[in-house]
Structure 1
Amino acid sequence: MTVANNEYPKASNATLIGASITYVAGLFLLLSFASPYWIESYPEMFSSFKHMGLWEYCFDRFRFPSYQFDKLFHGCHYVFSQEYYVIREWILPGWLMSVQAFVTLALIFSFATQIVLACVIVRWPLRLVLQYEWTFVTISFTMLIISNVFLFLAVAIFGGNCYRRDWLLYPSFNVLSWSYAFAVIACILFGVAGILLYLESRKLYELRSEARNLVGQMQHSQPEHALHQLRNQLQQQRSIGWNA
């Protein structure tokens, strides 16, 4: 096995396909994380609420009923901006903050999985990857499943609470939008990639067990072979002595 001639085992097709699906799912998750279109109002309703994401709300001359001053909220602003300070408790309920946390954790674990899979595919560092490939793939599978669980919780919590009447006014005017759909697609793709990586980790574990058993058999057979050679040498020396 030489590095110069690339004469070393390459990553399997299952690992390549699983990593590719993971990268595509990570792109969908990143777009969902950053875009402000988790839910939006129907254009025909001319609602003062336009659309929102995990980190941004967009209003069109919105008047919050519980605010004692006559203030209109207009335009798109960051949820933690000074503009939304007086209504932050309303636009950021506890369940939405849990969605933010779960999606953020899913993005972090997804990014870490992509880094590990990239090392496995490009075989860097070579000796370490070849020696512990099963461990790297298992770690990737584990982090991907954790990311998938977090993302599933996020889309489930948001989908179950986005039409609450104590959150956005007139919830029947609103509809789930493409940012939420991207999160659902990413969740499905993470599940598919997780299955492929799990099957590959089992395959690598079996190969690793077979290699260890083979090494063990060779180690046990070496003393007997050496003893047999020693006996042959002693017999040859005795026969030479007798002939002399």
Structure 2
Amino acid sequence: MGAFNRSTQVALGLSAFSFLLFLIAFSTPYWLVTDGRLEKPRFTNLGLWEVCFNNFQDIHRFYDNRFKGCMWVFEEEYYIIHDFLLPGFYIAVQFFATLCFVMCLIALPLTLALLRTSRDDDRNVVLLLTVGTCQVVGSIFGFIAVVIFGAKGDSRDWMPGWQNNDMGWSFALGVVGAVMLMPAGILYMIEARRERYKRLNEISNRQVSEYGDDYYQDQAHAAAAAIPSAPAPSSYFAPEPSRPRRPQPGHRAPSAPAPGGIQTDI
């Protein structure tokens, strides 16, 4: 835990707590309970996989069977009342709650692998992203399950004594567990994104440090060598040969002096 930052530690705590709550809700039969105001209620409590009756008899069927005690909802003895006991919305609640539980189970070994992986490992980002995705998807499935059960669980056309039926503590734990999975998964995904950008910055900085000044100097020398050399200045400004000056009008050109003589202008 010391190798992770604060956001990852918060995500680990939230995910562990929410998974524990949803596990309790998934396995306990107190999603729907009677409020205790009836002296002899025919229905006492119900969960996702277990229902408890007290001398219950379905008056809409021509059977004399009376059900008493708590049993698995798919028990063979309940076969004659499956169309009453297992309506469509209840099957949907079981389906989405199971998907949420499966996503939590998938995230559990991945979280354990994340705890054993260093932050410098390349698998760290993949594990963070995978765990976060599993928990976000599981939260969506769990939220759908609790919304459906909250809307249809205490309806008047399902369990007997619907006026005295209330949502139980197992349903409350399921709501809290499903909702808390969402921020935990989002924190994992944010941390994965942060680690990814951090590694990209490290790679870019490492490349700049390895190919820094020497690289740019070599590029400059190569560019200078590719430019043809300029001609010498003397080729452009070569001295012209001297020419005799033209005499001005009214003046005679001085005659060349004789060898050994003295030239005079008079």
TM-score normalized with structure 2 length: 0.75
User: 1:204 is matched by which residue type in structure 2?
Assistant: E
Q: How many correspondences in the alignment?
A: 219
1:46-195 correspondence to structure 2 within 5 Å: 46-123=40-117, 130-195=121-186
Give the one of 16, 22, 45 matched to 1:29. 22
Does the 8 Å CA contact 1:28/1:186 hold for their aligned counterparts?
yes
Match of 1:6 in 2: none
Does the 8 Å CA contact 2:51/2:71 hold for their aligned counterparts?
yes
RMSD between aligned residues: 2.4
Distance of 2:43 and 2:127 partners within structure 1: 47
User: 1:10 is matched by which residue type in structure 2?
Assistant: A
Does the 8 Å CA contact 2:43/2:161 hold for their aligned counterparts?
no
Gap runs ≥5 in structure 1:
1-8, 229-244
Distance of 1:75 and 1:94 partners within structure 2: 24
**Which segments of structure 1 move beyond 4 Å, counting only runs of 4 or more?**
225-228
Match of 1:240 in 2: none
Matched position secondary structure for 1:193? helix
User: 1:56 is matched by which residue type in structure 2?
Assistant: E
User: 2:101 is matched by which residue type in structure 1?
Assistant: L
Deviations 1:121-160 (A, max 9, x none): 222xx59x71131221111111110000000000000001
Does the 8 Å CA contact 2:136/2:186 hold for their aligned counterparts?
no
Matched position secondary structure for 1:61? strand
- 1:63–1:181 Cα change, 3 Å: same
Matched position secondary structure for 1:86? helix
Distance of 1:21 and 1:59 partners within structure 2: 36
User: 1:114 is matched by which residue type in structure 2?
Assistant: L
Distance of 2:217 and 2:103 partners within structure 1: 52
Deviation at 1:214, TM superposition (A): 1.9
Distance of 1:195 and 1:69 partners within structure 2: 52
Give the one of 3, 7, 11 matched to 1:14. 7
Deviation at 1:35, TM superposition (A): 0.4
Does the 8 Å CA contact 1:11/1:120 hold for their aligned counterparts?
no
Structure with larger Rg: 2
Q: Does 1:44 align with 2:22?
A: no
Matched position secondary structure for 1:59? strand
Matched position secondary structure for 2:80? coil
Deviations 1:209-230 (A, max 9, x none): 21232233345438728959xx
Distance of 2:4 and 2:110 partners within structure 1: 13
Percent of matched pairs sharing the same residue: 26
User: 1:19 is matched by which residue type in structure 2?
Assistant: L
User: 1:90 is matched by which residue type in structure 2?
Assistant: F
TM-score normalized with structure 1 length: 0.82
Deviations 1:3-56 (A, max 9, x none): xxxxxx922222122112111111111111110000011112131100000001
